[in-house]
Structure 1
Amino acid sequence: MKKSTPQLVKMMNRELIINELRRNPKQSRADLSKKTKLSKPTISEIVRELLDEELILETGVGESSGGKKPIYLKYNSRFNFVVSVLIENDSIHFALGDMSGEILTLFKQKFIPHSDGTVIIDSIEEGVERLLELEKVTMDKVLGMVVGVSGIKMDSDDMIRSSPTIRWGNTNLRKELSSRLKVDVIIENDVNLMTIGEFYKGQGQNIANFVYLFIGNGIGSGLFLNEKFYKGSHSASGEVGFMMIGDENNIKQELGVFETNYGLFGVSERLRELEVNLATCEADSLLHILQYHQNDARIKEILEETIDHWAKAAINLISIIDPQAVILSGELVNMNQTSLHAFKQKIERFVPQMPEIKVTELGSKAGIYGAFHLGLAEFHVAGFKYKK
């Protein structure tokens, strides 16, 4: 245990006051003294320092109950910021969040799939600079940046071992971005961040055990077990794209069997082989195209086979985890009523216990919120550590 020192006690008291104001804004000094059990002189001293540092702000004067009118205080959630960058399919999402984990600015830009890692890093650098410029925020106010990428990260050297959409090569993404932008950087799997975001802001709230299933160019899942996010021994849990689902002889470099055959790239390849004119359907979703053209027997066969195999992945996960819920994301949200019914029916037929099937309402924002939560837990101001 750390030896108790005046400095350590003061830092703990600072955290106590800031976290109390963050959870319950608009409190007076007297209110804080009652809530934290700290003496009024201690509260006055620390509040004065926090006001000078602009970590907290005065928000107005309350009604007097016989003595001096109380001055209300609140936590300054815009004292510092966290940058979130999420790479999903062929898009890079940029977001700036405050110290309450709320989105202030959000935009995305497209990139060409299978681009070289250095091209993506250039785009991230330019996007972050634009993001800060939009909110008139300087880099010294940014606590850190969390980047969500598809693929498996090797924790030992921060190299990305595999990715369905980007050729990272020997690029050390964390080191490169940190060097260019002069900020602390965390690299995390994109689906992991989405799973964390669902737990705190989305369909996973108040659910102790759930599976998050994402279908895109790559296929992945995230696990929350007993209210804790599970990463596995090598940070590779939930990599369901490597399940032996589909033709095991049809496999591409850096992709698993399942995502080679039934990720969006794999399904699109089969569709192109049919040489069917799909120009009549204006949609940016592959599933929408398949569903729109299912009067064509060949396309209907691909659609039904794809839904069937996506359900098999859910069956395998449910049989092992026995979750309360499965949260669907990515291309899965584009299933129409017929496709969703077939998907659920297949699962219910084979699992020992049917969980609730839920569709994300956050979309890619789940990854943004997950990044903010992770960043706020890891990056902190001197004398204040963020607590949920």
Structure 2
Amino acid sequence: MNKKYTRGSFKLMKSMNRSIILNMIREQGPLSRADIAKYTRLTPPTVSNIVKELIEAEFVIETTQGASKGGRKPTLLEINADHFYIIGIDVGRYKMNLVVTNLFGQLKDSAELEIKENPTSEEIINTLQQGIHQTIECGNLPPDKFIGIGIGMHGIVDTTNGISLFAPSFGLHNIPIKEKLEKEFNMIVKVENDARTMTLGESWFGNGNEADNLVGVNVGHGIGAGVMINGRLFHGENSLAGEIGHVTIDLSGPKCTCGNYGCLQALAGGPAIAERAAKELKLGKSSLIRELVDDQLERVDGAIVYEAAKQGDVFSIELLHQTGRYLGVGLTNLIHTLNPKKIIIGGGVSKAGQFLMKGIEETIMSRGLTDQGRETLIVPSKLGEQASAIGACVLILEEFFSQK
């Protein structure tokens, strides 16, 4: 028997005026009703009526009294941030990262679930359901205060219908995530590509919150980008926008999992770093890596290479520097195509940023067309490993505060 949870009342949010008022309170609050009417140019009775509905729905609360401008002190309004909660999930290659945030994106809980090797679609859905049930039922937060679930899924996603069209790390097609989870939990579910949720999270709560034209690059097992233009995620005609991992960098390069040769992902993704390291070590290269894996070269992965680099291993440092050069070529292509104000680097491989950045910067400086292009800001993710999961929560916040 499926246990049902109370769905948040998103019907209240469908009015443009309500959304305008909510956003104003979120961004500038605490605010008085008079200030809201003044800034929005809505009539005081309209503001009062909408605020009354929002207070009754417990989305907004009355708080301390403001300064008097003659007459009675005004009562101020603010978002009831800790009265409702959102679950965000980042579905990676080997694990699912779950977070719970309030309406301000503040982290309230987190957990990890392993993903079995070569899972079926049903097993992915079951693992998602298991993690969500555990999060809701075993946490310290009231179950009836959860209002939505956001999913950041690698690969190609049909965001309208919430379907994972192609999850390359699993070799799976057409996973009906939204349908299954909405039926199970009776709350709104939004599904998006993980690089885009990372970008969304950074845009709202991280290093991208002052840039309307932004690209977030998720560098992990695979490489993907979230493109934000004029403050909105750009998906392209068939949800392919941002598949930078499959931009060809070297026509004679190694074969990629997509079947093409020389893709950025095949040169700079986590498995590519490990493969290059193991290949060179088999040819007799000297490196601390041998000691770290007890000469079992099949154990080499990106994390081991990074650990060796941190300990001063020259071979690992140079390997990561070369990886940075490959990434620099991909980022230069992005700069020339989209001309963003800022590029944010996230994902597991980005932890090695101190060793990657020199190669990235050298490549952009040598290949950029203009001084302005060469000076494009390249920064690390502020939200780190939880960026995609927190960004998945923002999928629900966008729905909640949407002014569309």
Equivalent residue number for residue 3 of structure 2: none
Matches for 1:89-104 after TM superposition, within 5 Å: 89-104=93-108
Aligned to 2:256: 251
Aligned partners of 1:113 and 1:165 also within 8 Å: no
Alpha carbons of structure 1 residues 47 and 154: separation in structure 2 relative to 1, 3 Å: closer
Please point out which of 364, 368, 379 is paired with 1:358. Answer: 379
Seen in structure 2, the aligned counterparts of structure 1 residues 53 and 319 have a Cα distance that, compared at 3 Å, is closer
Identify if the C-alpha distance between structure 1 residues 296 and 99 changes in structure 2 by more than 3 Å, giving closer, same or farther. closer
Distance of 1:11 and 1:283 partners within structure 2: 51
Q: Give the structure 1 partner of residue 29 of structure 2.
A: 25
Q: Could you report, residue by residue, the CA deviation over 1:127-163 in whole angstroms, capped at 9, with x for unpaired residues?
A: 2122223143325x43322100111124686543433
Q: 1:198 maps to what in 2?
A: 202
Is 2:84 aligned against 1:84? no
Question: Out of 316, 321, 338, which is 2:338 matched to?
Answer: 321
2:388 counterpart residue number: 367
Q: 1:252 & 1:94 partners in 2: Cα distance?
A: 27
- 8 Å Cα contact 1:241-1:259 kept in structure 2: yes
Matched residue, 1:222: 226
Assess if the C-alpha contact under 8 Å between 1:150 and 1:190 holds in 2: yes
Distance, in Å, in 1 between the alignment partners of 2:344 and 2:258 is 28
Q: Which one of the candidate residues 241, 256, 265 is aligned to 2:271?
A: 265
Q: Which residue of 1 aligns with 2:357?
A: 340
Q: Structure 1-normalised TM-score?
A: 0.79
- Which piece of structure 1 moves more, 196-205 or 265-274? 265-274
Render the CA deviation track for 1:333-354: whole Å, top value 9, x for unaligned.
3336454223311221122130
1:136 alignment partner, one of 134, 137, 141: 141
Percent identity between matched residues is: 26
Cα 1:328–1:86 shift into 2, 3 Å: same
Matched, 1:376 2:390: no
How far is the alpha carbon of 1:220 from its aligned partner? 1.1
1:101-141 alpha-carbon deviations (Å, 9 max, x no partner): 333323333334543333232222122122223143325x4
Q: Which runs of 5+ in 1 are unaligned?
A: 1-7
CA RMSD of aligned residues (A): 3.7
Partners of 1:42 and 1:318 lie apart in 2 by 46
Where 1:335 maps in the other structure, the secondary structure is: helix
Q: SS state of the match for residue 273, structure 2? A: helix
> CA distance change for structure 1 residues 33 and 158 in 2, over 3 Å: closer, same or farther?
closer
Give the whole-Å Cα distance in 2 for the aligned partners of 1:332 and 1:54: 42
The corresponding residue for 1:55 is 59
Shift of 1:217: 0.4
CA contact (8 A) 2:324 2:358 kept: no
Between the aligned partners of 2:212 and 2:189, the Cα distance in structure 1 is: 29
The offset of 1:33, in angstroms, is 5.3
- The answer to whether the 8 Å contact 1:163/1:254 transfers is no
**1:90–1:165: 8 Å Cα contact kept in structure 2?**
no
Runs ≥4 residues deviating over 6 A = 62-66, 280-284
Distance in 1 separating the partners of 2:128 and 2:136: 12
Distance in 1, Cα, partners of 2:204 & 2:32: 29
Secondary structure of the equivalent of 1:203?
A: coil
CA apart distance, 1:314? 1.7
Please state whether the residue corresponding to 1:177 is helix, strand or coil.
Answer: helix
- SS in structure 1 of the partner of residue 384 of structure 2: coil
DSSP 3-state at the match of 1:166: coil
Q: 305, 308, 314: which one pairs with 2:325?
A: 308
Alpha-carbon distance between aligned partners in 2 of 1:49 and 1:325, rounded to the nearest angstrom = 39
Aligned length: 373
Partner letter of residue 258 of structure 1?
Answer: L
TM-score (norm 2): 0.76
Tell me, in whole angstroms, the C-alpha distance in 2 between the residues paired with 1:61 and 1:296. Answer: 62
- Does the Cα contact within 8 Å between 1:116 and 1:167 map onto a contact in 2? no
Match of 1:278 in 2: 292
Indicate the SS of the match to 1:115: coil
